[in-house]
Structure 1
């Protein structure tokens, strides 16, 4: 998503964890794209980890508390990551319908 788009469109982003050379970061929060690109270019080991279901549950609960009557939650393919499953688990605990989209 282009920088600033989430804020402009009111999209809530639950970041993936990105581990660069053993150091944990949150995608889009504390790891500038240029730093990630440099790490990859220099052969630094980079891995990712899906957010915990609790992170999705918190985001969904905030949306519901702000008046959302339904939530659309779009994610990285379930074939590539456990993110979709974490979102599905979180959706079970929210008082509004959550439509989890596996891209």
Structure 2
């Protein structure tokens, strides 16, 4: 049996979480003219670029992580992230099934 620890699985969790439809709708809702004052909307408008810059620095800093944790560290993190992603997917499926059953009743 050959163990190929160099196979790293890529999870596309980061980018959809940053620019997801949910994130976009939150910004749209937080800038609703009928619910929020101009000052509150300005605060939202200032915080969005701040969050984008922080995210940029975190993503740029991520380039140095593989050198610090090594090949086996990447493998371990990859396996743990796969487990977390699987749990999240199962949770989403179960919530969808539950909501579907509730609608039927």
Regarding TM over 0.5, the answer is no
Give TM-score scaled by structure 2 length.
Answer: 0.28
Larger strand share, 1 or 2: 1
Larger helix share, 1 or 2: 2
Larger relative contact order, structure 1 or 2 (CA cutoff 8 Å, min sep 6): 2
Q: Which has the larger radius of gyration?
A: 2
